[in-house]
Structure 1
Amino acid sequence: MEANFEDKIIFRECKAYKNMVSKDIVEERFSKKVSKIFKNHHQNNYDNKRCVFEFWSVSGFTEQALSFLKEKKGNTKKYDIEFYSEKEIMQKAKDSRAKKITNIMRDYFSDGV
């Protein structure tokens, strides 16, 4: 999913697995998708916009996946990396006042949040 703003473009990878997202899945997304998207971003003359890659998982991330994401976020300067689990996603939905998303999150994914 892509969101285009005046100063940045946000690319979101959203997962609704029953199990936590593993390090293998996150690594695979970085090696196969992020580099291609970033390269395409520059080829389409969006150099004046910051690139942000967001990983959303309603089931959360394993400790190994979180460590990988934190390390990538700290070491990557070409683009920004953000990652969100259920509570952060629910809060983002509430903050945006997107009732439909908030209701879906509460009804299908939430543990009483």
Structure 2
Amino acid sequence: MTIRESLILATKQLQNSCDRPRFEAELLLSHFLKKDRSYLHAFDNKEIENIEQFQKLIDRRANHEPYEYITKSVSFYDIELYIKKGVLIPRPETEILIDLVSDIIKKDSITSIAEIGVGS
């Protein structure tokens, strides 16, 4: 099966389980192939080996398992962090909150803070 064909099938399978099925199919295939997304478009006629392994990733996502648990990775402030089940996945809003608090700390010359309830 080619990259193009596998993305079409994966997108259909993810249609009811995520907001951006094509994007997530591309992310999972990129992860599986250890290539960036541009590779998928440049070499969309390339045959995929071990397609069954990619299908297992799609099945997990179709069952609403978070992408980050499947790839065991999450990006936070452009740092790739290892993650496993049971660890809370940082949300993008957390980065915004940190930026806002950092600005307040600088503006008001705050020298100490208490951080409570961060999760894992």
Normalising by structure 1, we get a TM-score of 0.24
Structure with bigger strand share is 1
Greater relative contact order: 1 or 2 (C-alpha under 8 angstroms, separation 6 or more)? 1
Choose 1 or 2 for highest CA Rg.
Answer: 2
Normalising by structure 2, we get a TM-score of 0.23
